[in-house]
């Protein structure tokens, strides 16, 4: 009677959400803990976006919409892709979903069968392999360590592709590392993919507008136009527009994939929230100038966090080029012992020590497929970040 499905048994709960829940539990108990595990901007949704949502409620836009997005929002997304990425998509090539995770889920579940392989560079966002596993596919990981700037090489990609490869999944800027591929780096990966016409390409560009690199953001269909017909370009409103709770993700790509995603969505969630869709139209078509100001704030935080973590004994923190995460290499702390005599034998043990000793919550590198490391989100105030990094420095110094 209590049996659950085999598909459910192939996945694990999200490690990032589990840590966030633990932080909330500790705070409710009165513990002075700093949570740096959640990937959520601390900035509020822009007022003009909120006003559009309020207007939608007052105007009665509270009914069902087309399953995979309103005409107005699809047109706004098409405008965004053309304006920001030089990519032309019509309405039949655009899908709107309840958040970026939903977009990825729909695309993979609608196209992956048992025996199909999906190439995922590591470190990776925690949900990628679990969604592939749920669909019955096989995740194939390519290790991209700190020595490579947390980015895969064309040679690694070529070696990983087999006749069973269904998708290659790219994420730039990356969650968890903040690593960002340049136009030329994407073009080089694209040249490899052109030699393997059976492989589809999915690019998760959710952090497109949280960008610090000296060269402009690029997505792979832009860098390698010959891949356009087999590339799904995924994005959303959550990060750039501080709309995590509004739950709007979207994708542009081949009409047959978009149609398949819509078919799946018609039997699962139906349409995304009508009010959120109206707000997303305003976000994508309104004034974008605020993005630069917020980017400057994130960059300042990044610089401080990287500097402070590199001053912590045993940590090596590369400088990310986008997103709002750092991913310090913790190799120098493995094998050390805490003041209570506990041996740090993994990055999971390390973040447990940070939580107990420093009252700072991070997410261990094992959850992202590359150890020993951990992820910290710097999407919070300068003051909180300075306190958290000071605590981490002190905790590292206590290890022997």
DSSP-derived secondary structure for 172-202: SS-TTT-----HHHHHHHHHHHHT-TT-EEE
- Residue 374 reports pLDDT greater than 80: yes
Q: In this prediction, what percent of the chain has a pLDDT beyond 70?
A: 100
Q: What is the mean pLDDT of residues 335-363?
A: 96
| Confidence (pLDDT) at 21 | 84
| Confidence (pLDDT) at 13 | 84
Q: What is the mean pLDDT of residues 9-37?
A: 86
Contact 212, 318 (CB under 8 A): no
| pLDDT tier at 1, thresholds 50, 70, 90 | confident
Partnered with residue 120 across adjacent β-strands are 141
Q: What is the mean pLDDT of residues 357-380?
A: 96
Question: φ, ψ for residue 297 (rounded to 5)?
Answer: -65, -45
- Residue 38 reports pLDDT greater than 90: no
| Confidence (pLDDT) at 250 | 98
Q: What share of the chain is helix, strand, coil (3-state, %, to 5)?
A: 45, 15, 40
- Give 379: exposed, middle or buried? Use CB within 10 Å, 0-12, 13-18, 19+: buried
| Confidence (pLDDT) at 26 | 82
| Confidence (pLDDT) at 48 | 98
| Confidence (pLDDT) at 116 | 98
| pLDDT tier at 39, thresholds 50, 70, 90 | confident
From CA 78, how far away is CA 284, in angstroms rounded?
Answer: 10
Q: What is the mean pLDDT of residues 337-358?
A: 96
Q: Which residues fall within 8 angstroms of residue 322, CB to CB, at 6 or more apart?
A: 172, 173, 174, 178, 179, 180, 207, 210, 211, 212, 213, 217
| Confidence (pLDDT) at 295 | 95
From CA 42, how far away is CA 52, in angstroms rounded?
Answer: 21
Q: What is the pLDDT of residues 184-239, one digit of tens each?
A: 999 999 999 999 999 999 999 999 999 999 999 999 999 999 999 999 999 999 99
| Confidence (pLDDT) at 15 | 80
Q: What is the pLDDT of residues 69-114, one digit of tens each?
A: 999 999 999 999 999 999 999 999 999 999 999 999 999 999 999 9
| Confidence (pLDDT) at 25 | 87
From CA 16, how far away is CA 133, in angstroms rounded?
Answer: 18
| Confidence (pLDDT) at 29 | 87
pTM: 0.95
| pLDDT tier at 27, thresholds 50, 70, 90 | confident
- Per-residue DSSP letter, 339: T
| Confidence (pLDDT) at 124 | 98
Helix (H, G, I), strand (E, B) or coil at 356: helix
Task: For the chain, give the longest Cα–Cα distance.
Answer: 64
| Confidence (pLDDT) at 2 | 87
**Which segment of 1-15, 275-289, 323-337, 364-378 scores lowest on mean pLDDT?**
1-15
What is the overall mean pLDDT for the chain? 96
From CA 112, how far away is CA 105, in angstroms rounded?
Answer: 10
**Angle, alpha carbons 364-233-112 (nearest 5°):** 75
| Confidence (pLDDT) at 310 | 98
How many residues are listed for the chain in this entry?
Answer: 400
- Residue 22 reports pLDDT greater than 90: no
User: Dihedral sign, CA of 93, 98, 102, 106?
Assistant: negative
| Confidence (pLDDT) at 23 | 82
- Per-residue DSSP letter, 207: T
- Per-residue DSSP letter, 319: -
> Closest by alpha carbon to 215, among 173, 183, 240, 187?
183
Question: φ, ψ for residue 125 (rounded to 5)?
Answer: -65, 140
Other CB atoms within a 10 A radius of the CB of residue 66 amount to 15
| Confidence (pLDDT) at 191 | 98
From CA 392, how far away is CA 386, in angstroms rounded?
Answer: 10
Question: The tokens 């305003």 sit on which residue?
Answer: 282
């Amino acid at each position: 009677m209590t049996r659950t499905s085999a598909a459910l048994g192939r996945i694990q709960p999200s490690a990032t959400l589990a840590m966030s829940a633990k932080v909330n539990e500790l705070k409710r108990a009165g513990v002075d803990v700093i949570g740096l595990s959640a990937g959520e901007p601390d900035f509020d949704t822009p007022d003009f976006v909120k006003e559009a949502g309020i207007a939608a409620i007052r105007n009665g836009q509270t009914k069902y919409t087309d399953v995979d997005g309103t005409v107005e929002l699809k047109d706004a997304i098409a405008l965004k892709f053309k304006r920001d990425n030089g990519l032309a998509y019509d309405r039949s090539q655009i899908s709107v979903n309840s958040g970026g995770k939903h977009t990825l889920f729909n695309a993979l579940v609608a196209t992956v069968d048992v025996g199909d392989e999906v190439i995922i560079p590591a470190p990776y966002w925690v949900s990628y392999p679990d969604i592939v596993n749920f669909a019955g596919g096989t995740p194939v990981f390519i290790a991209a360590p700190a020595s490579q700037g947390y980015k895969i090489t064309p040679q690694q990609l070529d070696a990983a592709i087999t006749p069973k490869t269904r998708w290659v999944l790219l994420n730039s800027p990356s969650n968890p590392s903040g690593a960002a591929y340049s136009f030329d780096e994407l073009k080089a990966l694209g040249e490899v993919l052109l030699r393997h016409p059976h492989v589809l390409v999915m690019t998760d560009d959710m952090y497109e507008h949280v960008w610090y690199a000296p060269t402009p953001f690029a997505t792979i269909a832009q860098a390698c136009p010959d891949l356009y017909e087999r590339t799904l370009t995924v994005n959303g409103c959550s990060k750039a527009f501080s709309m995590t709770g509004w739950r709007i993700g979207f994708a542009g790509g081949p009409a047959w994939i978009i149609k398949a995603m819509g078919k799946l969505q018609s039997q699962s969630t139906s349409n995304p929230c009508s009010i959120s869709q109206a707000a997303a139209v305003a976000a994508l078509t309104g004034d974008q100038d605020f993005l630069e100001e917020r980017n400057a704030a994130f960059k300042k935080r990044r610089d401080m966090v990287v500097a402070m973590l590199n001053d912590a004994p045993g940590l090596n923190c590369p400088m990310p080029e986008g997103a709002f995460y750092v991913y310090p290499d913790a190799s120098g702390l493995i094998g050390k012992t805490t003041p209570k005599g506990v041996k740090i034998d993994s990055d999971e043990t390390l973040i447990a020590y940070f939580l107990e000793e420093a009252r700072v919550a991070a997410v261990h590198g094992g959850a992202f497929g590359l150890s020993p490391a951990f992820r910290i989100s710097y999407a919070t105030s300068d003051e909180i970040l300075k306190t958290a990094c000071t605590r981490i420095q002190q905790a590292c110094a206590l290890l022997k």
